[in-house]
Chain A
Amino acid sequence: MIKSTDLDPDFKYEISKEPGGENIKKCFNCTGCTVGCPVTEIDKSYNPRMILRKAILGMRKEVLSDESLWLCASCYICYERCPQDVKITEVIGAIRAIAQREAKAGKIKLDNPKPLFDHLFIDSVRKNGKWYEAGVSGTFMLRTKGIGGAIGYAPMGFELWKKGKLNILPHTIKGKDELKRICKEVEK
């Protein structure tokens, strides 16, 4: 049973202040997002309507530590069909941002490897200006699956390399300073 005293009525406002989360309060829980969701189709435990409902009710900790938060494939079907223009894909992104901050502060634990991949990816873009596929994928495999897991992907990597599709070294851009200034401005 959930006690109303455990709820955080400000959670919806916290989400709406996050870029992408602005429209969460418009949701009237029609379930349109969930009936069309390709992930829900294969795993009923992923239920975007329920995530939104819980968030609006203020079930902060439950929403932030819910593993299913990381199952959205960003396919934008719900975003397209939502009659209230909640922009669900981006609301999920906003909730993920809060969850990552909470995890960084040691308040919750995140088990899903998605945020690790996202950060390795974006860090490589920050550093080089371009996505360093071989480096990011390799590091991610090592950190999530260990040496054995990473070696399991070696044959595929080799096939890609043989076809000239995998760059061993990162590509870089000249305007790294411009990128740095952009990051500094938007991350204030």
Chain B
Amino acid sequence: MKLAYYPGCTLHGTAREYDASTKAVCKAAGIELTEIDDWNCCGALEAIFDKELSMGLSARNNFKAQKTGLDLVVPCSICSHNLSRADKAMKTDSAFRAKIEKALGEKYTGVKIKHLLDVVVNDLGTEALATKFKKSLNGIKAVPYYGCLLIRPSEVCKFDNPENPTSLDNIIKATGAECLPFTQKTKCCGGNLLMSKQDYAFILTKKLFDEAKAAGANCIVVACPMCHMLLDGQQGMIEKAHNTVIDMPVLYFTQLIGLAMGLGEKELELDKNMVSTSKLIASIGKEKPPEKKAEAKIATAVEAEAAQ
């Protein structure tokens, strides 16, 4: 599979481990990525005060991708949202399209934009992916965290259920790690308020940690650099602000897949995560695979009740 690749600003900065693990995993899975030439920032959520400017910034990248003749894969949920939205507007809003075509002196024919998680789960497929796995990640007890723009609004990201997504769940299960139920999976981390209303952002993220801990998780799996910035990058600040200890590693789903593929920790840049991942990695294989103890217990209880 050959795809055009738009990393976005964070993957060349604070989310460099997402870039590294994406490239490593795609290579191992037989996906050839070609970074699009001279891409620019999508405007993130900071151009919300000017919708056309926001979409205009993204549209330039879609033109660049169009030149490759390939589908475009985007690992960041915010970039993926913005580029998809711009593509939709270019196809449906002729006035907007005319402005951008005039500015760039080119015609737009459209490009298929996909989040990396969509490509892995739907184009590659978890079964095909699992054939590349070299070890089971039992010992890792993960909660899947989807956040916002990966799955919402469904008019631009159509690949999973916006209220109860399962793509990350399926990947976690395929690696042999335990996937725990997580009621906060689609809640907001408050990332967009980090700079302007930090205390609220921290309360929102703290709720995710509380729930993940209550579920018995020893790690959180994400597919967005903004979620990762809050959960991993800001974890120390949240501990300080709430006078507590969280100590919860947060992996990009590509890092999790890479571990199951037997790729090296350096290659996956697991040392670049702000919260240490070494204890988590040491726990791999130290536990017997879960024997569906809980389910068995419930079944016995139900049988006992039925017998009464």
Chain A positions within 8 Å of B, measured between CB atoms, are 19-20, 38-39, 42-43, 70-71, 73-77, 79-80, 89-90, 92-94, 96-97, 100, 112-115, 117-118, 121-122, 125, 129-131, 133, 137, 140, 156, 159-160, 163-167, 171, 173-175, 178-179, 181-188
Contacts of A76 in B (CB 8 A): 148-149, 152-153
Indicate if B44 sits at the interface (CB-CB under 8 A): yes
The residue that A173 contacts in the complex, of B38, B102, B193, with Cβ under 8 A, is B38
The reply to whether B188 and A77 form a contact with Cβ atoms under 8 Å apart is yes
The reply to whether B162 and A118 form a contact with Cβ atoms under 8 Å apart is no
Contact of A160 with B103 at beta-carbon distance under 8 Å, contacts A118-B46, A125-B41, A137-B195 already known: no
Contact of A73 with B192 at beta-carbon distance under 8 Å, contacts A80-B154, A118-B47, A184-B103 already known: yes
Rounded to whole Å, the gap between the CB of B47 and the closest CB of chain A is: 5
Contact of A165 with B14 at beta-carbon distance under 8 Å, contacts A80-B154, A113-B196, A130-B9 already known: yes
The reply to whether A175 and B148 form a contact with Cβ atoms under 8 Å apart is no
The reply to whether B104 and A186 form a contact with Cβ atoms under 8 Å apart is no
CA A175 to CA B106, docked complex, whole Å: 14
Indicate if B301 sits at the interface (CB-CB under 8 A): no
Residues B136-162 near A (CB distance < 8 A):
147-149, 152-154, 162
Residues B197-253 near A (CB distance < 8 A):
197, 200-201, 203-204, 233, 236-237
The reply to whether A122 and B204 form a contact with Cβ atoms under 8 Å apart is no
The reply to whether B38 and A39 form a contact with Cβ atoms under 8 Å apart is no
Q: Which residue of B lies closest to A101 (CB)?
A: B49
The reply to whether B53 and A73 form a contact with Cβ atoms under 8 Å apart is no
Q: Which residue of B lies closest to A21 (CB)?
A: B51
The reply to whether A112 and B196 form a contact with Cβ atoms under 8 Å apart is yes
The reply to whether A117 and B188 form a contact with Cβ atoms under 8 Å apart is no
Rounded to whole Å, the gap between the CB of B31 and the closest CB of chain A is: 25
Indicate if B305 sits at the interface (CB-CB under 8 A): no
Rounded to whole Å, the gap between the CB of A154 and the closest CB of chain B is: 13
Stretch of B54-62, B110-118, B175-183, B290-298 that contacts chain A? B54-62
Contact of A96 with B152 at beta-carbon distance under 8 Å, contacts A38-B190, A133-B13, A184-B103 already known: no
CA A67 to CA B106, docked complex, whole Å: 42
Contact of A182 with B59 at beta-carbon distance under 8 Å, contacts A79-B153, A160-B14 already known: yes
Rounded to whole Å, the gap between the CB of B153 and the closest CB of chain A is: 5
The reply to whether A130 and B41 form a contact with Cβ atoms under 8 Å apart is yes
Contacts of A92 in B (CB 8 A): 48
Contacts of B48 in A (CB 8 A): 74, 89-90, 92-93, 96, 118
Contacts of A160 in B (CB 8 A): 14, 233, 274
Residues B107-135 near A (CB distance < 8 A):
none
Rounded to whole Å, the gap between the CB of A107 and the closest CB of chain B is: 17
Count chain A CB atoms within 10 A of each CB in B49, B57, B187 and give the residue with the most: B49
Contact of A71 with B193 at beta-carbon distance under 8 Å, contacts A42-B204, A93-B48 already known: yes
Contact of A80 with B9 at beta-carbon distance under 8 Å, contacts A38-B204, A96-B48, A118-B48 already known: no
The reply to whether B51 and A133 form a contact with Cβ atoms under 8 Å apart is no
CA A71 to CA B190, docked complex, whole Å: 10
Contact of A122 with B47 at beta-carbon distance under 8 Å, contacts A163-B272, A167-B13 already known: yes
The reply to whether B57 and A179 form a contact with Cβ atoms under 8 Å apart is yes
The reply to whether B51 and A182 form a contact with Cβ atoms under 8 Å apart is no
Contacts of A43 in B (CB 8 A): 200
